[in-house]
Amino acid sequence: MAQVLEFKLPDLGEGLTEAEIVRWLVAVGDVVAIDQPVVEVETAKAMVEVPCPYGGVVTARYGEEGTELPVGAPLLTVAVGGTGAPEELAEAAPGAAPTVGETAAESAVSSEYSGNVLVGYGTAGPAARRRRVRHESHAVAKAPAPAPVAAPVAAAAPAPVTEAVPGHDGPVPVISPLVRKLARDRGLDLREVRGSGPAGLILRADVELAIAALERPAAAPSPVAAPSSVAAPAAAPSAAVATAGERVPLRGVRGAVADKLSRSRTEIPDATCWVDADATELMAARAAMNAAGGPKISLLALLARICVHALARFPELNSTVDMAAREIVRLPAVHLGFAAQTPRGLVVPVVKDAGTRTAESLTAEFARLTEAARESALTPADLTGGTFTLNNYGVFGVDGSTPIINHPEAAMLGVGRIIPKPWVHQGELAVRQVVQLSLTFDHRVCDGGTAGGFLRYVADCVEQPAVLLRTL
Indicate the burial class of 223 (C-beta count within 10 angstroms; 0-12, 13-18, 19 or more): exposed
My answer on whether omega of the bond before 126 falls inside 30° of 0, hence cis, is no
Cα–Cα distance measured from residue 433 to residue 227, given in angstroms and rounded to the nearest whole number: 72
SS3 of residue 215 by DSSP: helix
Query: Whole-angstrom Cα distance, residue 113 to residue 121?
Result: 12
Q: How far is CA 341 from CA 110, 217, 317, 396, in A?
A: 45, 41, 25, 10
Give the Å distances, CA to CA, from 50 to 10, 25, 54, 121. 8, 10, 12, 12
Q: Is 470 exposed, middle or buried (0-12, 13-18, 19+ CB in 10 A)?
A: exposed
CA of residue 201 relative to chain centroid, distance:
22
Active-site residue list: 443
65 contacts 24 by C-beta, under 8 angstroms: yes
Residues near 10 by Cβ (< 8 Å), separated by ≥ 6?
Answer: 50, 71, 118, 119, 120, 121
Radius of gyration of the chain (CA): 28
Helix (H, G, I), strand (E, B) or coil at 7: strand
How far from the centroid of its chain's Cα atoms is residue 205's Cα? Answer: 18
3-state secondary structure of 470: helix
Secondary structure of 407-467 in HEC code, one letter for each residue = CCCCEEEEECCCEEEEEEECCEEEEEEEEEEEEEEECCCCCHHHHHHHHHHHHHHHHCHHH
DSSP structure class, residue 295:
S
- The SS3 of residue 212 is helix
First to last CA, the chain: 69
